[in-house]
Amino acid sequence: MIEWARWMVLGLSVVASVATPAINEIRPNKPNKPGRFLSLPVPQKCSQRPKEFFYRGHNYFYSGHLPQYRNTKLDWLDARNICREYCMDLVSMETQEENNMIFRLIQQNDVPYIWTSGRLCDFKGCENRRDLEPKSLFGWFWSATRVKMAPTNQIPQGWGYNAWSQSGHKKVPQPDNAEFDINRTNESCLSVLNNVYNDGIAWHDVACYHEKPFVCEDSEELLNYVASTNAGIQL
Ligand SMILES: *[C@@H]1O[C@H](CO)[C@@H](O)[C@H](O)[C@H]1NC(C)=O
Ligand SMILES: *[C@@H]1O[C@H](CO)[C@@H](O)[C@H](O)[C@H]1NC(C)=O
């Protein structure tokens, strides 16, 4: 009961900067899974989490490099939840240096695509946020850290390039919400695609039900939470 109450407090802080992550996301193609939630961290998994590489105080891993996930492709929320059980979350590339590191991982290992924590704020809690309009320019954020992204049509401050692809299914700059035109499915999640549209390695908006390998990154919030509720745990 106390555990849950503490979690709720932690969970509510989520609303502050952007909005709650994609909880209660409904997948029309899986009617038996109507309500879907973010997973809680599992202390034992956190202390034994895979640490493939390390950057600026955070551990990371690419799912394709772990035997247990080598052939696993998951939709965006399921991928997030795998990470979260390890006190990690999908990767957030808030700086050019970190983005370059992820692009290099994709290039050197010939990875076709990955999920990141990038998300469009188009769910419950994002209404009446004029600062997020128009959504295609101002509505994107890193759900793992709830940091807002730069406007999608601009080079972010401190960067030398815009990581969003200049091309895609519609041959226009990303995000283009292309699948909405095909069958009314919104492209609300951010994937890095490796030259799928002859456009090099770049960011694309993609419908969240697609199944992809993923990169997990330490979540300070979840690590701190597990550390504070499990005295003496090694993380
Ligand atoms: C999906 O995209 C369309 C077209 O951009 C937009 O009008 C609609 O509001 C979006 N749906 C949601 C749930 O955001
Ligand atoms: C929408 O179209 C894409 C691309 O053709 C397809 O992969 C996907 O299954 C379709 N989704 C639905 C809900 O029809």
Query: Is residue 159 pLDDT above 70, yes or no?
Result: yes
Confidence at residue 181, expressed as pLDDT on a 0 to 100 scale: 96
DSSP state of 160: S
Measured from the alpha carbon of residue 121, the closest ligand is 1
User: For a pocket test of ligand 1, which of 122, 182, 206 has the largest count of ligand atoms closer than 8 A to its C-beta?
Assistant: 122
Q: Which two tokens stand for residue 225?
A: 């939470």
Q: Looking at residue 120, what is its pLDDT?
A: 98
Report yes or no: 219 and 61 within 8 Å, Cβ to Cβ: no
Residue 111's pLDDT is what?
98
pLDDT band for position 30 (50/70/90)? very low
Asked whether 33 and 77 are in contact (CB, 8 A), the reply is no
Cα 56 to averaged position of ligand 1 atoms, centre (Å): 36
For residue range 58-90, list pLDDT tens digits in order: 999 999 999 999 999 999 999 999 999 999 999
Q: Is 24 helix (H, G, I), strand (E, B) or coil?
A: coil
Residue 5: per-residue pLDDT: 36
- Closest-approaching ligand to the CA atom of 176: 1
Strands 58-62 and 215-218: antiparallel
Query: Can you tell me which atom of ligand 2 is nearest the CA of 29?
Result: 13
Q: Minimum mean pLDDT among 32-36, 92-96, 130-134, 195-199: which range?
A: 32-36
Q: What is the pLDDT of residue 36?
A: 82
Instruction: Tell whether ligand 1 has an atom less than 6 A from the beta carbon of residue 185.
Output: no
Closest ligand 1 atom to Cα of 180: 2
**Is the distance from CB of 212 to CB of 73 less than 8 angstroms?**
yes
What does the pLDDT look like over 191-213, one tens digit per residue?
A: 999 999 999 999 999 999 999 99
Cα separation of 233 and 227, whole Å? Answer: 6
Say whether pLDDT at 228 is over 70: yes
Cα–Cα distance, 97 to 54 (Å, whole number): 13
Asked whether residue 216 carries a pLDDT value surpassing 50, the answer given is: yes
pLDDT for 11 beyond 80: no
Q: Which ranges in 59-190 belong to alpha helices (H)?
A: 76-85, 96-108, 135-138, 178-183
- 190 Cα–ligand 2 center, Å: 17
For residue 171, list its beta bridge partners.
none
Q: Using CA positions, which residue lies closest to atom 3 of ligand 2? A: 179
Rounded (10°) angle between helices 2-12 and 220-229: 160
Residue 108 CB neighbours (<10 A) = 8
- Average pLDDT rounded to a whole number, residues 93-106: 98
Region of residue 30 (left: phi > 0; alpha: psi -120 to 50; beta: else): beta
Q: How far apart are CA 201 and CA 165, in angstroms?
A: 8
- Over range 92-104, report the average pLDDT: 98
Interatomic CA distance for residues 216 and 29, integer angstroms: 26
Centre of ligand 1 from the C-alpha of residue 96, in Å? 29
